[in-house]
């Protein structure tokens, strides 16, 4: 069954890994969105972060994206003009492209175990160099790099992956490709390689585009090397994975009004528009961390980040459940969150009861893990308790 890692058996063992760059290891998507947000704002319109537009733009070529933006935001320019303007901004921005969650961890792990790594990217060699220059330790991690302008045909042709395998002196069948785009998945499969897809947009629509992949993951955080014959990660602490901590905050606002409190799972919602690109940088999933509530204290949290597949929401939100019984609501109060660990990807469930049961399991995992290092150390972070003006 495609997409089921459990079906892997000895014939899927690999000893080389070939990685895509944009959207797989670094977040050029958010950078482009920042550029579009700026241009749209210049025309007096407000950019919608992580709305349905994100799904509409998936897998489209740059000019098609520009055309759909001109239409959706009713911009007084042509698609060509918009594309040209966005490209002029983006050329100077590669240094701001951030490593995607789990990317540096994956490279370090493979390198530590002497698994040869190739990079196969459709972008020109010059751009690859600029992008890698800002990621410490990355360039040295790749044994070979093949750029889009170093082959006759880019992805979806298998040429770029075959060339990488040749330079690695590896049989294609012993190579594992990790890719975020449907065209890249096609290229990797056409090269006769195993392909793990990590779609940059987690949606039901997107998933059907990746049916050719051997496995489809929510993000690199969910990659299990041992299923492909590679050494396993050993950095999980119990059932939680330590991540680079991230902070967010704001006044508690009304959420979806689904009466989650009635279900025993109240989630304190933050105004996501104000978080801007901060939210799109983090992969959807269930996390643990600490919350600071002004005048009340610091509490453990378990939270979901994403589109809540069970409810099929139209926008990405954060849903933190503070693991404490409060006698009253705290709408309007300043809430600070430090997210320190990852538990699992978002899932869909066949019934509300099963969703609730799973959320309670998540809460137990979070409660236990937050007593352990490194998670426990963040409860003293000043960000949780410092009033806004003093920061
Ligand atoms: P909403 O639709 O506003 O999200 P919920 O039913 O999810 O409604 O309730 C969330 C509200 O419940 C929070 O904004 C907060 O004021 C209150 N609340 C009480 N206890 C908690 C808790 N332990 N964690 C999160 N929110 C809580
Ligand atoms: N929603 C989903 O659709 N799928 C999930 O896997 C999921 N996991 C969650 C885990 C936690 C810890 C929390 C707090 C929420 C989760 N939710 C999930 C979101 C849930 O549907 C939502 O918070 C409430 O329904 C409030 O809108
Ligand atoms: Mg809520």
Dihedral pair phi/psi, residue 198, rounded to 5°: -125, 80
* Nearest alpha carbon to residue 231 among 78, 17, 4, 5: 17
Q: What's the rounded mean pLDDT across residues 155-170?
A: 96
313 alpha carbon – ligand 2 mean position (Å): 11
Decide whether any atom of ligand 2 lies within 6 Å of the 378 Cβ: no
Name the catalytic one among 27, 163, 319, 362. 319
Contact between residue 256 and residue 313 where contact means Cβ atoms under 8 Å apart: yes
Name the catalytic one among 22, 34, 180, 222. 22
Decide whether any atom of ligand 2 lies within 6 Å of the 304 Cβ: yes
On average, the pLDDT of the chain sits at 88
Task: Tell me the CA distances in angstroms from 299 to 31, 116, 367, 379, one per residue in order.
Answer: 33, 43, 10, 8
Residue 328 annotated among the catalytic residues of the structure: no
Residue 319 annotated among the catalytic residues of the structure: yes
According to the model, what pLDDT value does residue 3 have? 40
Q: Given a cut of 90, is residue 258 above it in pLDDT?
A: no
Find the ligand nearest to 259 CA. 1
Closest C-alpha residue for ligand 1 atom 17: 329
Q: What predicted TM-score, i.e. pTM, was given to this entire model?
A: 0.86
According to the model, what pLDDT value does residue 60 have? 59
Which ligand 2 atom lies nearest to the CA of residue 286? 10
Q: What's the rounded mean pLDDT across residues 337-363?
A: 94
Q: How far apart are CA 6 and CA 338, in angstroms?
A: 34
Ramachandran bin of 285, using left for φ above 0, alpha for ψ from -120 to 50, beta for the remaining angles: left
Name the catalytic one among 20, 159, 214, 362. 20
Quickly count: other Cβ atoms within 10 Å of residue 152's Cβ: 8
Dihedral pair phi/psi, residue 320, rounded to 5°: -85, 130
pLDDT-derived band at 391, boundaries 50, 70, 90 = very low
Q: Which residue has the higher pLDDT, 89 or 267?
A: 267
Which residues make beta-bridge pairs with 178?
19, 196
């Amino acid at each position: 069954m495609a997409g089921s890692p459990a079906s892997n058996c000895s014939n899927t063992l690999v000893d080389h890994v070939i990685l895509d760059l944009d959207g797989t290891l670094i977040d050029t998507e958010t950078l482009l969105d920042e550029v579009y947000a700026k241009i749209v704002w210049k025309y007096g319109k407000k950019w919608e972060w992580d709305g349905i537009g994100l799904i509409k733009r998936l897998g489209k070529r740059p000019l098609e994206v520009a055309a759909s933006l001109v239409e959706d935001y009713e911009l007084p320019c042509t698609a060509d003009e918009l594309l040209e303007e966005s490209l002029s901004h983006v050329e100077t921005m590669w240094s701001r492209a951030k490593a995607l969650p789990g990317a540096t961890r994956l490279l370090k792990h493979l390198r530590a175990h002497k698994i040869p790594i190739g990079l196969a990217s459709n972008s020109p060699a010059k751009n690859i160099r600029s992008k890698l220059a800002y990621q410490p330790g990355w360039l040295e991690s790749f044994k070979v790099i093949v750029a889009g302008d170093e082959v006759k045909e880019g992805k979806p042709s298998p040429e770029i992956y075959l060339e990488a395998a040749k330079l690695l002196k590896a049989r294609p069948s012993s190579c594992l490709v990790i890719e975020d785009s449907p065209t890249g998945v096609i290229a990797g499969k056409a090269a006769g390689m195993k392909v793990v897809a990590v779609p940059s947009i987690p949606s039901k629509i997107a998933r059907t585009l990746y049916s050719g992949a051997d496995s489809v993951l929510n993000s690199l955080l969910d990659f299990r090397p041992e299923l492909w014959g590679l050494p396993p990660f050993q950095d999980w602490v119990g059932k939680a994975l330590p991540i680079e901590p991230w902070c967010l905050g704001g006044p508690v606002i009304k959420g979806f009004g689904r009466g989650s409190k009635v279900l025993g799972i109240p989630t304190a919602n933050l105004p996501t528009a104000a978080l801007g690109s901060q939210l799109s940088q983090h992969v959807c999933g269930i996390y643990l961390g600490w919350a600071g509530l002004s005048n009340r204290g610091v509490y453990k949290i378990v939270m979901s980040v994403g589109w809540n597949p069970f409810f099929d929401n139209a926008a990405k939100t954060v849903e933190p459940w503070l693991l404490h019984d409060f006698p009253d609501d705290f709408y309007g109060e300043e809430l600070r969150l430090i997210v320190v660990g990852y538990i699992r990807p978002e899932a869909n469930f066949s019934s509300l009861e099963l969703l609730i049961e799973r959320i309670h399991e998540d809460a137990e995992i979070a409660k236990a893990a937050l007593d352990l290092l490194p998670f426990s150390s963040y409860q003293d972070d000043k960000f949780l308790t410092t009033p806004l003006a003093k920061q």
